[in-house]
């Protein structure tokens, strides 16, 4: 009896190991909770994503699913079969909340220049005329209306319908570092490439992080997260309105004073992601670039779908290929 139990336990362990191996290296299932990719992907779609086309990778986090309880570990990435290209629908870790996964459409890649003007998207000075049909639900925002939370907000990056031109960094790009350096452009790149950044003035120190308290608080329903950030705590984001060019002299990269750097060379490629539902998508227009090492895979097809308004299955969505 005991031997039979051990045999069955061993068989279960082998099955679980095989399933987990497939899940983290080949394919994984995803549930879509928002309408940012409508009408290509609907709220309530269950997707299968290919994890190996952009390069299989070993797990980088061990913990309890759907919680923050766990820890990150070093991972190994295997050679890719292809790199993300324009119009691919890819899955990636949200840069401002590492526990959240996003699915969006890749609209630009490393070395490209992107411009959005009156909702029209231009790539390297040519208008993108997609085979898919983007969804628009609101009139064009006038250039006189500025959205303060837009990525790299400036005289040209005005709102979701009018932003750019924006350059998408590629591996090996060299950006100068001086007092006029754009914090919101360069610091996220430095952090996404595994470096540390701090503001140090005497005994006062603040550590830069990509993890945005607004996003984390919204996900967890916990406003106490703000206590860890400036001014109560010692964390601060590169896009914080509390920092300005006058703080540049207090910046340290990997504990080295910023005045010892003349430039920064990027270590990886970056991408620009947008939702097909252009008027209701939290995407690169708001939070910037998708780094290569955050990309998890390509969305392939919908294997099930349910209407979250009435909890009825959408049978016509089953088996739909995503393109």
Question: For residue range 178-234, what is the model confidence (pLDDT) as tens digits?
Answer: 888 888 889 999 999 999 999 999 999 999 999 999 999 998 888 999 999 999 999
Q: Give ∠ CA 291-216-224 in degrees, rounded to 5.
A: 145
> CB–CB of 245/177 below 8 Å?
no
Q: Which of 281, 304, 227 is nearest to 38 (CA)?
A: 281
The C-alpha atoms of residue 247 and residue 207 are separated, in whole angstroms, by: 13
The 8 Å CB, 24+ separation contacts for 86-89 are 86/123, 86/128, 87/130, 87/131, 87/132, 87/323, 88/298, 89/37, 89/40, 89/41, 89/298, 89/299, 89/322, 89/323
pLDDT tens string 294-322? 999 999 999 999 998 899 999 999 999 99
What is the pTM (predicted TM-score) of this model? 0.89
Domain positions in the chain? 177-265
Q: What local confidence, expressed as pLDDT, does residue 56 receive?
A: 78
> CB–CB of 43/35 below 8 Å?
yes
> CB–CB of 111/83 below 8 Å?
no
The C-alpha atoms of residue 2 and residue 15 are separated, in whole angstroms, by: 20
């Amino acid at each position: 009896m005991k031997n039979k139990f051990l045999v069955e336990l061993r068989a279960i362990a082998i099955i679980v190991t095989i399933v987990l191996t497939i899940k983290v290296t080949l394919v994984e299932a995803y549930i879509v909770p928002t309408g940012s990719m409508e009408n290509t992907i609907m709220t309530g779609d269950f997707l299968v994503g290919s994890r190996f086309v952009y390069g299989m990778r070993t797990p980088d986090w061990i913990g309890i699913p759907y919680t923050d309880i766990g820890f990150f570990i070093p991972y190994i990435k295997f050679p890719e079969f292809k790199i993300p290209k324009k119009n691919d629908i890819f899955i990636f870790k949200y840069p401002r909340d590492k526990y959240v996964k996003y699915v969006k459409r890749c609209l630009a890649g490393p070395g490209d220049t992107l411009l959005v003007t009156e909702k029209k998207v231009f790539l390297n000075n040519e208008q993108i005329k997609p085979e898919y049909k983007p969804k628009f639900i609101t009139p064009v925002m006038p250039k006189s209306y500025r959205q303060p939370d837009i990525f790299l907000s400036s005289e040209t990056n005005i709102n979701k319908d009018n932003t750019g031109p924006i350059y998408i960094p590629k591996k090996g790009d060299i950006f100068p570092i001086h007092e006029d350096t754009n914090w919101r452009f360069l610091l996220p790149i430095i952090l996404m490439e595994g470096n540390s950044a701090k503001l140090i003035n005497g005994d006062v120190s603040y550590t830069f992080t990509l993890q945005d308290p607004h996003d984390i608080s919204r996900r967890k329903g916990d406003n106490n997260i703000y206590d860890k950030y400036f001014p109560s705590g010692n964390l601060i984001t590169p896009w914080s309105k509390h920092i300005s060019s006058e703080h540049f002299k207090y910046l340290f990269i990997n504990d080295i004073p910023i005045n010892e750097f003349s430039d920064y060379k990027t270590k990886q490629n970056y991408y620009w992601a947008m939702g097909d539902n252009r008027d209701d998508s939290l995407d690169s227009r708001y939070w910037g670039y998708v780094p290569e090492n955050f990309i998890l895979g390509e969305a392939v097809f919908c294997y099930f779908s349910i209407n979250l308004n009435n909890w009825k299955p959408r049978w016509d969505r089953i088996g739909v290929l995503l393109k």
